[in-house]
A and B are shown apart, each in its own frame.
Chain A
Amino acid sequence: MTVTSAPTIQRNGLLARLHGRAGRGWLVVPTIAFLLAVLILPLILIGFYSVNLMTNLIGVPTEFSLRYWEDFLPPGSNPFWDRFQTSMVITLLVSVAAVIAAYPIAYYLSFVARRRRYTLLLLILAPFFTSYLLRVIAWKVILANNGVINSALWQLGLRDHGDGVTWLIYSWFSVALVLFYTWVPFVALPIYVVLENMDTRLLEAAQDLGAGRLKTFLRVTLPLSLPGVIAAFVFVLIPTTGEFIAPLLVGGPQSYMFGNTIQGFFSDSPNWNYGAVLAVWLIAIVLVLVLLFGRFLSTDLRESKAPA
């Protein structure tokens, strides 16, 4: 019996230690409580508003009703739905354009830039950490009717003074350009990470076997980098889906996005019930995107320990 005592003590020590680490789990409680109050409870209230269990309209009885939903669904019969569709098309175009534009940057950083790569990566990412609002305002200065581009055209005599290019601002072009500008540096990051971790011996092997550089890229590099490409795509898609700031500043009522419609129902013409329906719809779209593409995003947090 005494023979087993030493290992038992050791195991008890280990158990105690394990218990200590398990005990830390309770430290999530404040964060969870905070997020339940500040995030989940408001989402539930939005849900209540969307089915008329609550309302901000005076004299309207609160009872469960899907009438606000019926005004939004079925598709194709109302202005909100049109706005939603146009908005999603812009979002998709911007996301695809940003990924295509950022890919060569990521490629350059991982395969050509060599030692300067971290400095150059920081150079690309730094504007992303400056105020979003101010970057949009800077574009407004560039694109405005008498802004930098138009007045430069006048100075160069390419257009008559006062005759600006009309689609430069308050148009879908300006909204898309600003969204593209905002997200394109951030998009380079996940692609860069994938390329950086790629086994370059595979590329050498492809070339030893007779593939040219183009073929190597198309058959080896590109397919292997797809997870990063998809992650990058989702990185733009999700935040731009609910966008409303860029359209407010460089767009016009004709180029407002879905987010602006929601904003309108909570500010200019308050009807929180309609606003809540559109907000629930927006969350649903975003959650579907996350469920579809979530596995391409980081799974780092699911493990308790980093792999050795």
Chain B
Amino acid sequence: MTAAASRLGGRLLGGYFLLFAIFLYAPLVVLVIFSFDDSQIQTLPYAGFTLRWFRAVFSNGDLIASVQRSAVIALFTALGATLLGLITAVAMTAHKLALRGIVVALVLLPLVIPYIVLAVGLLILLNTLGLRQTLWAVLLGHIAVSVPYCLLIILPRLRTIDQAIVDAARDLGAGAWVAFRRITLPLIVPALLSSAIIAFTISFDEFAIASFLVPAGKETLPVYIYSGSRTPALQPQVIAIGAMVVVASLLVVTAAEFFRARAERRLRV
């Protein structure tokens, strides 16, 4: 075959890859299978097929409210983090950026600071300001942890833009803003969409920060799922909503990658 692997080696690696993929998907499949299990306890033998847990989910007002809260926070996180990511990315393409090293370190800091530290830090901040736990704090925390991902998605795309096109627009009389809006922005739309989708996903799934900052009775979906998973009566519903969220995430990731790849191909042509 190649210098890297013999035919047999290639087959062995292929077999290993298959086992690895099974290992990665098995828990997700288990979640989906047991969401249809007609039993309060998830155990074998399988008790039979039912949709009652899904019906229970859709008639559980607390759960639906938590989904709505999470969706709204995730939406605003997507907008806020993408906007901050975009302006930071534009600033980073400047030839001269004062204290570039420090700026980069600060923007990437949320990637390495443990979420538990961010969470207790925000809790202390609220306390110092004399405020109670609030969903606004959850939103701010989610934007902070999403910005580096948005920047890392937008910046590489921004750098691939041929500066000559922008310069041409400027020479033809376009101001900096017009050149940006008419030339640069349309070229980075795919990256902005990926950035928004990633930020949305991060926020929608985020538990650690939310668990410290949500007010009582105003749980986000992950906080509701966590407490539900420790309440035997709610566990089947948690698994049903979990199965839906997992399947939806996998579809979104696949679709996002599909559209990104197609858009990139088109732009290249």
Interface on A for B, CB 8 Å cutoff? 17-18, 20-28, 30-32, 34-36, 38-43, 45-46, 49, 54, 56, 101, 104-105, 107-113, 118, 120, 122-127, 129-135, 137-142, 144, 146-148, 151-152, 154-155, 181, 184-185, 200, 203-204, 206-207, 213, 216-217, 221, 238-239, 241-245, 248-249, 259, 262-263, 266-267, 272, 275-276, 279, 282-283, 286-287, 289-290, 300-302, 304-306
Contact = CB atoms under 8 A, between A and B. Distances in A.
Interface of B: 1-6, 9-10, 13-14, 16-17, 20-21, 23-28, 30-31, 34, 41-45, 84, 87-88, 90-98, 100-101, 103-104, 106-110, 112-118, 120-125, 127-128, 140-141, 143-144, 147, 151-152, 155-156, 159-160, 167, 170, 176, 201, 204-205, 207-208, 212, 222, 225-226, 229, 238-239, 242, 245-246, 249-250, 253-254, 257, 261
17 contacts: A17-B170, A20-B176, A22-B96, A23-B94, A26-B91, A34-B143, A42-B118, A46-B124, A109-B17, A112-B13, A127-B24, A131-B242, A148-B30, A221-B4, A276-B120, A279-B120, A283-B114
B120 A130 contact: no
Contacts of A133: 205, 207, 222, 225-226
Nearest to B257: A122
A71 to B, nearest CB: 18
A28 B91 contact: yes
Contacts of A289: 112
A221 B2 CA distance: 13
Residue from A207, A241, A283, A287 having most chain B Cβ neighbours under 10 A: A283
Contacts of A38: 122, 125, 140-141, 143-144
A105 B106 CA distance: 33
Contacts of A105: 16-17, 20
Given A135-B28, A203-B3, A304 B95 contact: yes
A129 B253 contact: yes
B205 A39 contact: no
A216 B94 contact: no
A155 B155 CA distance: 54
A129 B4 contact: no
Contact of A112 (B10, B45, B121): B10
A259 B170 CA distance: 53
A249 B207 CA distance: 13
B225 A137 contact: yes
Which label, helix, strand, loop or mixed, suits the secondary structure of the B interface? Answer: helix
B13 A263 contact: no
A181 B37 CA distance: 25
A142 to B, nearest CB: 6
B117 A17 contact: no
A105 B170 CA distance: 48
Contacts of A40: 106
B240 to A, nearest CB: 11
Contacts of B1: 112
Contacts of B109: 35, 39
A155 to B, nearest CB: 5
B242 A304 contact: no
Given A25-B91, A306-B159, 19 more contacts: A34-B84, A34-B143, A35-B109, A42-B124, A104-B17, A109-B17, A112-B13, A120-B17, A125-B253, A131-B249, A134-B245, A138-B242, A142-B30, A151-B44, A184-B24, A203-B2, A238-B112, A244-B116, A304-B95
B95 A21 contact: yes
A286 B117 CA distance: 11
B140 to A, nearest CB: 5
Contacts of A287: 112
Contacts of A144: 42
A28 B94 CA distance: 10
Nearest to A24: B94
B176 A42 contact: no
